[in-house]
Amino acid sequence: MSWELLLDPSLVRLAVSMAVPLALASAGELLMERAGLLNVAIEGIVTLAAAGAFLGAFASGSAGVGLVVGAAAGAAVSRLLAHYAVAWRRDQVTVGLTLYVLCVGLASLLYRMVVGVRLTPPRVETLPPVPLPWLGDLPLVGDILFRQHALVYAAAAVVGALHGFLFHTSLGLRLRAAGENPVAADTVGVDVFGLRAWAALAGGALVGLAGAALPFTLTGTFTEGIAGGRGWIALMLVIFGRWTPLGAAAGALLFAYVEAFQFKLALLSKAVPPQFLQMLPYAFAILVLVRAYRGAEAPEALGKPYDREART
């Protein structure tokens, strides 16, 4: 296998585009986990947001409306998770798995109610490339990085802004304190409950935007398996990145590259079984997770309901 194949500009360009849903979903999950909330409903939220985004664009004819609907769906479900986990102090894993099943079923139901059963599924327009002035004309990197659709630039901005927020602002410090030691944070006046609720709202919107990106950047339509495990992969990417936005984004690019590579390999070689190629990205993710989990330290209060009356 030659280096020309591994570094093919079209392959790298596709990987950058395919990394967008993973980068957005992992950023949203990371924001919630830094506040102490574990969102295991993420796969269902991605699926529901994809359905909502597709139906919103299908009904209105506008991709912008679809993206807003997808983000709103993600924020609503995550806010519901926060209500049970923060206000009612229920087990986050149990609530999250319940919401996961609910979201997957609701996505299918809404699609069938609006679209019905068709031999040929309806489609929406995918996002066109938006070349950046000057940068898009750069040799090699211009075509790979700066002639992408708008969500690529949005995802890069989100990752950079989230990194700056968490590690270079006082509010980000308070949010991290709520996920590490809510007792100490509450003692010095930090609103732990409010921060966790807002983190769920903002993080859920990012996860919803990740789901909304799927029909507009990859498929042009909605299918019941559209998430393809990307929600679970986003959970892995948070661990891979050691709960840092830049590390999770780097993991998203790595996984997307392997996923894009299996498509490229399928076109070049008919000798490799397609089932093996489809398995390749997820097998790679498992191997990376086993390696990355060693020494990874999650926020101390992650997944633990905070009860002010139980402080010692």
CB 273 within 8 A of CB 6: no
3-state SS string for 1-14: CCHHHHCCHHHHHH
pLDDT for the residue 166: 96
Highest mean pLDDT among 13-17, 205-209, 289-293: 205-209
Q: Rounded CA gap, 292 and 250, in Å? A: 13
| Mean pLDDT of the 61-77 span | 95
**Which of 213, 263, 310 has the alpha carbon at shortest distance from 11?**
263
pLDDT for the residue 11: 87
| Domain architecture of the chain: domains with CATH | 3-116+150-310 (1.10.3470)
Q: Which of 68-77, 191-200, 252-261, 291-300 has the lowest mean pLDDT?
A: 291-300
- Residue found under tokens 């986050």: 92
